[in-house]
Structure 1
């Protein structure tokens, strides 16, 4: 990937990566919002430290480079001053990032409808008002879901996370997934087998810990523990940014759309997905592998028939 795509919205700016000098052992987590970013960052922090009590403080120690709310010079200087192995996050599709063959890129995906409903809850838990007209509350006319289906993958729309932006993330990640330093994970596989996820990430990072330590690290990263200790695990936790730190973790469940979307809305979503993705690719994006190894050969409803939203 020699030419980077520009992603520029009210919240993010992919050009900010130009201020970061990538190191050979950097770990960059690349996801659409609300697809398991914080979860994966926490797993990485625990594995790199080997300390179940490590202070994650993700927004400072593992910064979101793209976000325009933080002074870029300060972020770049802080990263440059880190003597330990670094990890960063991005909500920019991977074709907008500097892709260095020496660094490790971890892309995490989630069923688009679950990500959408989690993002709805997330926005109402923040003080940011830029997207109120996209996410009105209440919304008896279904404006939010229409914009989710109709929004574009770039510009202002991208930061509001429509389906097109999630698909752009997926398209860009799949295009480089054959590289040894790019790995794809799915939220559903992480839910099914957290210990297996830890083992796979540890292999990518080249770190190892005893069985006893690994078991303790895994317990720290369970949803219930992270939500119960939200001030520790939530980005900017304990600093009053979110209305509720615990609310950042929402429910951690799948199938959030069931019983909420109308048959017409589900049909419109299915039509978009069928038009954009082959059945196997769609099945993985929605339900994961089932075996958690990220290679797409698992039992994640790969026949495509079960990949409909109504399932």
Structure 2
């Protein structure tokens, strides 16, 4: 932890990266929660294996290193024992990660309100009360959106995923994206063009497969297929980590806030976005390369 920013939250401890020996061909999937993490991990795993029927076990084979709930010695030993090309997941912003000159960093972002409403569903699907204070079942007074807009990007707030965390993820990744090994992806672009996303990731990782194999890999990573096989694709699927593995893949659609947030709440969101982002940055963070709905 020399030149990295310290991030300590209810679930996050980025000092754990000090125990990982980074290899030049490692692949990092770096995202705020509910922004396409598992989707990108699956794409990477499929490309690395070339097998649409691969055993996923993403939480074990491609672990969330920052997650303080798992014993770090065990995580580090398991990573060190891997002889194949490795991939790891992080919900820590890029300024808190070890930055290797050759390892690849795939940073995935999503419209902040889409991510927020997906996290609302996720918080209710976890059989632990980690986020009840931020995501109460009875939210008649608007506690959830208020905390989303007011929360900070560090400390306990970090893991409850306020807007500040998403903005900081974006800014730190954007500022490093001039490096050839740091690449930004957007959930909306992945949704619009999954084959193009596969091609882009394959190029970054210097991986090639025949057209027939790529077609099979792409089919395996569609939302419908992953939801239909939720025990296989959800993090710790089939192990009771979530109340419903299928609900982890809720719908994959956008604009769930429409008709839910009031005009005043949307105005507060707009003000926060405009205060921290240029019009160009805001357009990309919300809608990806299209820059509009």
Superposition TM-score tier, normalisation by shorter sequence: over 0.9
- Please give the residue correspondences for 1:37-76 in structure 2 after superposition, counting only pairs within 5 Å: 37-76=37-76
Shift of 1:200: 0.3
Q: Counterpart in 1 of 2:218? A: 218
* Pairing 1:88–2:79 present: no
Q: Give, in angstroms, the shift of residue 3 of structure 1.
A: 1.8
Aligned residue in 2 for 1:108: 108
- Root mean square deviation, CA, Å: 1.1
Matched, 1:180 2:180: yes
Aligned to 2:124: 124
Cα deviation for residue 214 of structure 1 reads 0.4
CA drift at 1:128: 2.2
Measured against aligned partners, the alpha-carbon deviations of 1:176-207 in whole angstroms (never above 9, x if no partner) come to 00000000000000000000000000000100
Matches of 1:79 and 1:101, distance apart in 2: 20
- State the SS of the aligned residue for 2:29: strand
Q: Deviations over 1:26-72 (max 9, x none)?
A: 00000000000000000000001100101111000000000011000
Helix, strand or coil at the partner of 1:124: helix
Could you tell me which residue of structure 1 aligns to residue 247 of structure 2? 247
TM-score (norm 2): 0.99
* Alignment partner, residue 294 of structure 1: none
* Deviant stretches of 4+, over 4 Å: none
Quote the Cα distance in structure 1 between the aligned partners of 2:238 and 2:147.
Answer: 33
Give the match for residue 20 of structure 2: 20
Query: Aligned equivalents of 1:230 and 1:131: distance in 2?
Result: 23
Q: What is the Cα deviation at residue 138 of structure 1?
A: 1.6
What is the Cα deviation at residue 130 of structure 1? 2.0
How many angstroms apart in 2 are the aligned matches of 1:126 and 1:261?
A: 24
Q: Aligned with 2:285: secondary structure?
A: helix
SS at match of 2:185: strand
Unaligned runs of 5+ in 1: 291-299, 302-310
Matched with 2:169 is: 169
Higher deviation after alignment, 251-260 or 22-31: 251-260
Q: CA deviation at 1:256?
A: 1.2
Q: 2: distance between equivalents of 1:106 and 1:29?
A: 5
Q: Partner of 1:32 in structure 2?
A: 32
- 2:53, 2:229 → 1: CA distance? 12
- Counterpart CA distance in 2 for 1:128 and 1:90 is 21
* 1-structure distance, mates of 2:53, 2:251: 24
Task: Tell me the SS of whatever aligns to 1:265.
Answer: helix
Number of residue-to-residue matches in the alignment: 293
* TM-score computed with the length of structure 1 as normaliser: 0.93
- Alpha-carbon distance in 2 for matches of 1:263, 1:81: 53
Residue-by-residue CA offset, 1:54-101 (whole Å, 9 max, x unaligned): 111100000000001100000000000000000000000010000001
Deviations 1:267-308 (A, max 9, x none): 000000000000000000000003xxxxxxxxx23xxxxxxx
